[in-house]
Amino acid sequence: MPSSPADRDLAPPVEIVVAPYGSALYRTACVLREEVLRRPIGLALAEADTAPDAAALHLVAHAGGAVVGCVQAVSEGRAAKLRQMAVRADKRRQGLGRALVERLEAELRGRGIAEIHLNARVEALPFYERLGFLAEGPVFIDIRVPHRHMRKPLAL
């Protein structure tokens, strides 16, 4: 049944926050990462997936505690690697992925990071291109999925 305007008024707004490693929001985001990024390719979230997490900056989008999106960045000196970008299926194509990446860029700029790079799933290339990332090099397979490397300089 379609939700009424009154129902929509009661829905908590989506908020993007920095989630400390190990926090409740971080742990709930791991559930979303598994659901969006691993289960569809027949895998669970593995130790290799979470190994960089302790040193990463985690952004989590949530509505009243219900996690609907996440992304992280691992600092590599003057650059950072964007990883584990996921938006819950029912929240896609509403600007949430863009909002997460733009907030991540702002956080990284504030930390003096001059460039972001990432390995993009080929199906997500148009999304990153809309956000100003440029693909480079050949398609390669990583964890069963075709990817391309992408970069974006950050104006400081």
Ligand X SMILES: CC(C)(COP(=O)(O)OP(=O)(O)OC[C@H]1O[C@@H](n2cnc3c(N)ncnc32)[C@H](O)[C@@H]1OP(=O)(O)O)[C@@H](O)C(=O)NCCC(=O)NCCS
DSSP secondary structure letter of residue 23: S
Q: Tell me the two tokens of residue 121.
A: 């799933």
Smallest distance, Å, CB 116 to ligand X? 13
Q: Which of 18, 28, 45, 92 binds ligand X (CB under 6 A)?
A: 92
Whether the CB-CB separation of 54 and 21 falls below 8 Å is answered with yes
Phi-psi label, residue 134: left if phi above 0, alpha if psi -120 to 50, beta otherwise: beta
Task: Give the contacts of 20 (CB within 8 A, at least 6 positions apart).
Answer: 26, 58
36 versus 59: smaller Cβ distance to ligand X: 36
What mask, x for binding ligand X by CB under 6 A, covers residues 98 to 117?
x-------------------
DSSP 3: P
Q: Which positions from 37 through 56 interact with ligand X, judged by CB under 6 A? A: 37
Q: Does 85 bind ligand X (CB under 6 A)?
A: yes
The footprint of ligand X (CB under 6 A) covers 36-37, 85-87, 92-98, 120-121, 124, 126-127, 130
